[in-house]
C-alpha cells in the first residue's frame, strides 16, 4: 500500500477510493481547507505505485459537468489541447464537478494530482481492485441532467442550487431550447440514496425559483447520512437527475476556537 498523499491546504476529493477494473466513472472535487488562494486548471497527472515509489503513468484533462463528457486517462507525453479554465474552491464552498473514468487502468494504486498556478498540489489516491464493488452510476452525459451546487455537502444539511444540463447534439443551443427541455418538470425534487445495489427513497424537497433567472432552482436540504445521493425532478417524458455527495469532509472546521 502506498503512503498517503502529503498534507496540503487544498485536497482532491474523489467519489470513490476503491473501484473495480473496467469503465468506472468518478467525480473529483477540490476542497479548500484553510482559505488559501489557489487557481487550478483541468489538467491532472496520474502516477502508479510500483511497490516502492510513484512512477508517471498518464494524464487527464478533466471534464466539467456542463461539457457533457467524461475524460479518460491518456498516456504521458504529447502536448494535447487543454481548455483554459480556472477552478477554485473556498472554505465551505467545494470546487465544481470534474468527471473522469478509470477505464483502461490495471489493478493497482493510482495517484491523481492537480497543481495550482500558485504551486499548490491537490491530490488523491484511488485503488483499482478486482473484487471492489461498483460505485453508484452517474447520469449519462447524453441525458438531460441537473448540476447541483455545491455538489459535496456536510451531513448537517445545506442550501443547494440546481441548474439544468441539457445536451446539445447539434453543438449549438439557445435559452429557448433549454426552456423547452425543462418545461413541465416538477417543482418538487425527490431525494434518493445509493444503497450499494440500487437507489432508495430518502425524502423530498420543495424547489424555489431564483430571482432574476427562470432556469435554476434552489432548495434547502435537510440533515442526511453520509453517502451518495441523487435528486429527481419528474418530467412529462423523462426525469432529470442530479447527483450529490454527503461527506463530513465538507464540514467547515472552526479554527478560531
CATH number, domain with residue 208: 2.60.40.10
In a shared domain, residues 164 and 226: yes
In a shared domain, residues 191 and 162: yes
Q: What's the mean pLDDT in 94-103? A: 94
SS3 168: coil
Cell of 249: 469532509
Q: How far apart are CA 36 and CA 16, in angstroms?
A: 26
Any idea what DSSP says for residue 141? T
In a shared domain, residues 149 and 197: yes
Q: What's the mean pLDDT in 234-253? A: 91
Contact 60, 70 (CB under 8 A): no
Is 70 exceeded by the pLDDT of residue 254?
no
CATH label of the domain that carries residue 114: 2.60.40
In a shared domain, residues 53 and 104: yes
Q: Is 27 left (phi over 0), alpha (psi -120 to 50) or beta?
A: beta
Is 60 exceeded by the pLDDT of residue 110?
yes
Q: Is 49 a domain residue? A: yes
| pLDDT tens track for 113-160 | 999 999 999 999 999 999 899 999 999 999 999 999 999 999 999 999
For residue 58, the enclosing domain spans 10-128
Q: Which residues, including other chains, have CB under 8 Å from residue 138's CB and lie 6 or more apart?
A: 25, 27, 99, 243
| pLDDT tens track for 184-223 | 999 999 999 999 989 999 999 999 999 889 999 999 999 9
Q: How far apart are CA 66 and CA 89, in angstroms?
A: 18
Q: Which residues, including other chains, have CB under 8 Å from residue 184's CB and lie 6 or more apart?
A: 235, 236
In a shared domain, residues 189 and 233: yes
SS3 248: helix
Q: How far apart are CA 142 and CA 9, in angstroms?
A: 35
SS3 110: strand
Task: Count Cα neighbours of 154 within 13 Å in the Cβ-side half-sphere.
Answer: 13
Our count of domains for the chain comes to 2
Q: How far apart are CA 105 and CA 123, in angstroms?
A: 18
Is 90 exceeded by the pLDDT of residue 169?
no
Is 80 exceeded by the pLDDT of residue 48?
yes
Task: Count Cα neighbours of 117 within 13 Å in the Cβ-side half-sphere.
Answer: 10
Using CA of residue 232, residue 234, residue 235, residue 236, what is the dihedral sign? Answer: positive
Name the pTM for this structure: 0.92
Amino acid at each position: 500500500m502506498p503512503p498517503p498523499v502529503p498534507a496540503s491546504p487544498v485536497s482532491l476529493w474523489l467519489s470513490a477510493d476503491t473501484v473495480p477494473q473496467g469503465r468506472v466513472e468518478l467525480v473529483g472535487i477540490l476542497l479548500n481547507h484553510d482559505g488559501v488562494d489557489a487557481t487550478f486548471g483541468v489538467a491532472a497527472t496520474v502516477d502508479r505505485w510500483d511497490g516502492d515509489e510513484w512512477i508517471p503513468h498518464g494524464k487527464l484533462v478533466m471534464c466539467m459537468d456542463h461539457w457533457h463528457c467524461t475524460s479518460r486517462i491518456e498516456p504521458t507525453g504529447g502536448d494535447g489541447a487543454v481548455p483554459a479554465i480556472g477552478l477554485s474552491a473556498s472554505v465551505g464552498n467545494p470546487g465544481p464537478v470534474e468527471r473522469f473514468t478509470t477505464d483502461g487502468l490495471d489493478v493497482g494504486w493510482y495517484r491523481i494530482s492537480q497543481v495550482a498556478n500558485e504551486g499548490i498540489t491537490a491530490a488523491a489516491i484511488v485503488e483499482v481492485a478486482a473484487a471492489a464493488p461498483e460505485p453508484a452510476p452517474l447520469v449519462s452525459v447524453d441525458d438531460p441532467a441537473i448540476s447541483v451546487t455545491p455538489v459535496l455537502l456536510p451531513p448537517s444539511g445545506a442550501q443547494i442550487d440546481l441548474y439544468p444540463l441539457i445536451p446539445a447534439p447539434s453543438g449549438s443551443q439557445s435559452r429557448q431550447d433549454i426552456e423547452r427541455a425543462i418545461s413541465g418538470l416538477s417543482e418538487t425534487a425527490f431525494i434518493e440514496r445509493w444503497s450499494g445495489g440500487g437507489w432508495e427513497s430518502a425524502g423530498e424537497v420543495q424547489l424555489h425559483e431564483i430571482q432574476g433567472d427562470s432556469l435554476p432552482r434552489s432548495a434547502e436540504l435537510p440533515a442526511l447520512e453520509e453517502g451518495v445521493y441523487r435528486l429527481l425532478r419528474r418530467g412529462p417524458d423523462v426525469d432529470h437527475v442530479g447527483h450529490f455527495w454527503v461527506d463530513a469532509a465538507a464540514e467547515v472546521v472552526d479554527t478560531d476556537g
